[in-house]
Chains A and B, each alone.
Chain A
Amino acid sequence: MKKYVQTMQYWEEITTNTNNYIIVITGLGGQGLIRFLRILGSSLVKKGYKVITSEKHGLSQRGGNVTCFLRFGEKMVAPIPIIGSADMIIATEKACILDVLEYAKLDRSSKLIVATYEKKSQINDYPSEEYLLKVLNEISDYINFIPVMEIVAKFTNLKIINTIILGYILRFLPISEEFINESINQHFAGDLLVLNQKAFEEGRDLK
């Protein structure tokens, strides 16, 4: 766990020198990507960053692919980044990562965060594990597969993948847990709040 902890100094450098930190998030409609953007975005705003998020989706609320961007730093920037520039790429469904690899940096330094959830129903040409590993290894030195399905099974709920990932990436972000907790509290209520708090903690505590 310790090797992931980055100092605030590192973050100040990154977000002032390069203008912004770029996160690309991809997944399927209905996985709560927009909520993910709202929770993480509002946490970073509270921390004093300029944040912009955007979404590319059409009928994706009905199962199509969604691609979102979250960028933060010292100044306001465009809602879409240039290709080859993402610092972090997150996929809440495994094969979705293949949709957005054009945003990965050519120097192999983009962090890839891939949920192990596979939505294969009605799909005949789902990419093989070997293919995916081969491609990702060509792209980046930082590949993190997040074993979300074990946690999903524990809570028998598929809709918490976004929150597990949020817990997991906390270790890479210049923001303390309290800020995100506060946002989670504002975005959920009742049973859903408890569920998402637990999912967040599970993600946070992953090795």
Chain B
Amino acid sequence: MRMEYLKILKGKSGGELFLLGNAAIARGALESGINVYTYYPGTPSSEVGEIFTILFKEAGLNWVESSVNEKIAIEVAGAAYARGAKAMVGMKNVGLNVASDAFFALATTHPKNKNSAIVVLVADDPQQYSSAVEMDSRYYLKLLKIPALEPSNPQECLDYTKSAFEISRELKIPVILRLVTMVAHARSNVKLGEIIQPEIDESFDLSPEVNVASRLYFLDLKQDQIYNRMNRALIISENSSLNRVEFENESNNFNLGIITSGVSYSYVIEALEFFNIKAPILKLGFINPLPERRIVAFLKQFKKVFVVEENDAYIETEVLAIAQKNCVQTKILGKDPFSYSKESSLLNFVGELNPTEIALALMKITNLTPKINLNQIKDKRYETVRRRPVLCPGCPYGTIGYALKKAVKKLKSDLGKEIYFYQDIGCYTLLSFPPYSFANVKYCMGSSIALAQGVAHTDDSLNIAIIGDGTFFHSGIPALLNGIHNKAPILVLILDNGWIGMTGQQHHPGSDPRYYQEGSFKKQIDLGKFLQGTGANISIIKHQKRIEGKYSDRLSDLIYEKGHSVLEKRDIHVIVIEDECTQKYIQRNTLEVRYIDGGQCTNCGICYTQFYCPALNEKDDRAQINSNECLGCGICEEICPNNAILGGDNNEY
């Protein structure tokens, strides 16, 4: 990836590159003279952070960090902004919830320094391809009262990033750059501009009057934020070319105009072309504050205006209010947001939008018959193969799932009590599905430990929280302290694979600094020592082969034993399971692929039903290992009761 990322820095002004939306954002920030980039990885926003991590020194930035969580990221960048830096913070939509507490103070601060600018990149994930919930971040714009821009393709990602920095620098207010997956992860031709060398204010002013969130200053500053800075933002929005009417001179028989923004704009064009309808489109690049004057002028030209947007009816609700205030009689069509009625909604509040859905809505509005029957296509059903996402071959979590299942079976028969599981956000979420099914309640990042407490305090069941190391550092620590302090009778399993595995093996404070590029200037936090400092009951188990006994058995026995002791002592117990993410481990080590000894295999099925590995399945009445997929972790060899799985026994994994 390094070579690919270097292109973003080396690409010449006036040249064209084939860039990911996220890469175009990084280039746009470089063309704005960015000083500081902080982020917490989260799909679909992570690439921007990875790019800056690689380019950090070469591009001459003052600071780049993958912060412990989004709140920390926005605080680090926010203070740099107060001090005179051009800063940017990256996160996914749900990360904005974590950052929001600090963001409210930041939004009102009013640094005086010349260079100060801050852009917050928020990437939404409609259809929740990689999220626990589907969340439209745009209503935060109303809460925070700050400007926001929304690009519709990779070229606009670059251009709008630059505009966002300019607006923030001019108004001294944070600007949100709002993306969705189909923009962040789209790749297309992007024309480059000139990179500006980062400069930071040499003399700066950190006056409390503009930076200290307190009743003393903030009531005045909030007045200024709303009636001065947002008012000036509105003037920019009214006059900006980011808000523009496309196909202004086109018309149709339906007296129809369209208001849209972001990726929906490109879908609208697709749908209109499908029907061969021409219609003027008000494309809003500036999604807060919305340009009232221009919306009114646009509405007045039509009998009907169709507002097209993904997820919430954010723009539509605003347009309805603007129309009412200005006594505009135009019929506004869209999701009919006050009705909560699917029948009267032309587009769905839920899920990712696409050109087909817009075409179907246009069919209802215009009563046109399309050249091809979309409903006929949509109604066809095929016998598709439903594939659940699975853990990678050799994933440590597969072994943990296997061991936990064995321990739980024994515990259940011993105790005669129910056992419940609380899941968190990470690859181990996949243990929620069969053959493991370890999930009873799950919310968001860092919630499993507190969720377990809620049931444990009101029941005599055994409650087990499952959380990864990255998520534990992100937001699990306060919940654990709460559990220790309150003597919550829960068993906490910290699955320590050393990295933020799910989003691409980024590092966290516990990651081994020898194995990531910027590790040379980071300090590793020893998770075991940290936990011992809390005074809680802790066990640490490492995946080491040279210790007597099988690892999966030792793990299973430990969980069994501590499960008992949690209920006996009515107190919390924490087990840290250290076993590195295979994807990271195989980058440094060669492992030996396993194979089945056909003569020994009795086809008992333990390896491919109770233990789950994508490289293992049944073929010709015996187990089979796909040598193309096996990475060589060797756990299947360990669990085979017939010694039918062979391979290297001289590796140390």
Contacts and interface: CB of A to CB of B under 8 A. Distances in A.
Interface of A: 19, 28-29, 37-38, 41-42, 45, 50-60, 62-65, 76-84, 95-96, 98-99, 101-102, 105-106, 120-123, 125-127, 131, 135, 156-159, 186
Nearest to A70: B187
B469 to A, nearest CB: 19
B391 A62 contact: yes
B390 A52 contact: no
Contacts of B382: 98-99, 101, 135
Given A57-B129, A78-B270, A121-B614, A64 B389 contact: yes
28 contacts: A38-B187, A42-B18, A45-B18, A45-B189, A58-B389, A60-B389, A62-B430, A63-B390, A63-B614, A64-B390, A76-B188, A76-B266, A77-B270, A78-B266, A78-B355, A79-B153, A80-B354, A80-B355, A81-B270, A82-B270, A82-B359, A84-B372, A98-B382, A101-B382, A106-B376, A127-B385, A157-B628, A159-B628
Nearest to B388: A64
Contacts of B270: 77-78, 81-82
Interface string B376-405: 111010111101111110000000000000
B130 interface: yes
Given A62-B427, A78-B270, 17 more contacts: A19-B273, A37-B187, A51-B187, A54-B182, A58-B129, A60-B389, A62-B430, A64-B387, A79-B153, A79-B263, A83-B377, A95-B385, A96-B385, A98-B384, A106-B372, A121-B617, A121-B626
Contacts, number: 143
Contacts of B129: 56-58
B617 A83 contact: no
Contacts of A64: 387-390
Contact of A126 (B354, B385, B427, B430): B385
List 8 tightest A-B contacts by C-beta distance, closest first: A59-B389, A58-B129, A121-B617, A78-B266, A158-B628, A52-B188, A63-B390, A64-B389
B374 A84 contact: yes
Interface of B: 3, 16, 18, 127-130, 153, 155, 182-183, 185-189, 263, 266-267, 269-271, 273-274, 354-356, 359, 372-374, 376-378, 380, 382-385, 387-392, 427, 430, 608, 612, 614, 616-617, 626, 628-629
A78 B263 contact: yes
A16 to B, nearest CB: 14
A81 B430 contact: no
Given A62-B390, A62-B427, A79 B385 contact: no
B387 A123 contact: yes
B372 A127 contact: no
A157 B629 CA distance: 10
Given A53-B188, A58-B129, A80-B354, A102 B267 contact: no
